[in-house]
Chain A
């Protein structure tokens, strides 16, 4: 595997289900991100992790719960979702360097989530 991988690629779930999205980066990066891409809306940043610590939470509802056990893996745990949460969820990673903000984010293929 190369780059950033995401599983599953497609997920259909009911409003009462609990599921998890998985992201893995094979680039040796130290920062990982979750973005939400909805139809007709710009990409929205959800969470940022650096060295496994959450550095940003962009006012995301608590029904979305991120987990970053190490710098290569990122999860998004989902529970009690709403139909409006249906979207493409994109994971990205980048390499942060001390004192520099020139890093480039590399994206995975996304998980297409449908909430019934």
Chain B
């Protein structure tokens, strides 16, 4: 079965510093990987996705993610964090080998950016 792990419940970083939010996955075939962000009292907003091709994917708001097949990871990164980046971040995977449309989400990582 497909699964996603976000090992950190919370990540704290100072404004201006680089940030990384970790995600590892397990699928039976090739994965489609997604990152979403959720602000308080809001739904999930799509940030970026990896389907195939270049392992470094660029997304919204200056975020990027690096796909590493050997480590089965898809970490979210940003070179310089903003206070406004503070939110809940979700990694998700679609196991295309199973032919399912549904996404399996990780438990989420709360990012706190201190001024």
How far is B108's CA from A4's CA once the two chains are assembled, in angstroms? 22
Tell whether, in the assembled complex, residue A56 and residue B102 are in contact, meaning their CB atoms are under 8 Å apart. yes
Assess A90 versus B44: contact at CB under 8 Å? Given A43-B90, A101-B94, A102-B51. Answer: yes
Residues on A with C-beta less than 8 A from B105 are 42-43
Closest beta carbon of chain B to A100's beta carbon, Å: 10
Interface bin, chain B: 20 to 34
Q: Which of B34, B96, B102, B104 contacts A33 (CB under 8 A)?
A: B102
A105 within 8 A of B: yes
A107 neighbours in B (Cβ, 8 Å): 36, 43-46
A56 touches B44 (CB 8 A): no
Query: Inside 8 A of B36's CB, which chain A residues have their CB?
Result: 107
How many whole Å from A90's CB to the nearest CB in chain B? Answer: 6
A101's partner among B4, B45, B101 (CB-CB below 8 A) is: B101
Residues of A within 8 A of B104 (CB): 42
Bound-state CA distance A73–B41 (Å) is 22
Give chain B interface residues in 19-63, CB to chain A under 8 Å.
32, 34, 36, 41-46, 49, 51
Q: Chain A residues with Cβ under 8 A from B34's Cβ? A: 104
Q: Tell me if A115 counts as interface (CB < 8 A to partner B).
A: no
**Cβ–Cβ < 8 Å partners of A58 in chain B:** 102
Of the candidates A4, A55, A101, A112, the one whose C-beta lies within 8 Å of that of B96 is A101
A contact residues around B41 at 8 Å (CB): 109, 112
Residue contact A101 to B32, C-beta cutoff 8 Å? yes
Can you list 12 residue pairs at the A/B interface with Cβ under 8 Å? Answer: A43-B105, A45-B103, A48-B101, A55-B101, A56-B100, A90-B43, A96-B101, A101-B96, A103-B101, A107-B43, A107-B46, A109-B42
For the complex of A and B, list the 4 residue pairs with the smallest distance between their C-beta atoms, beginning with the closest: A107-B43, A43-B105, A107-B44, A109-B43
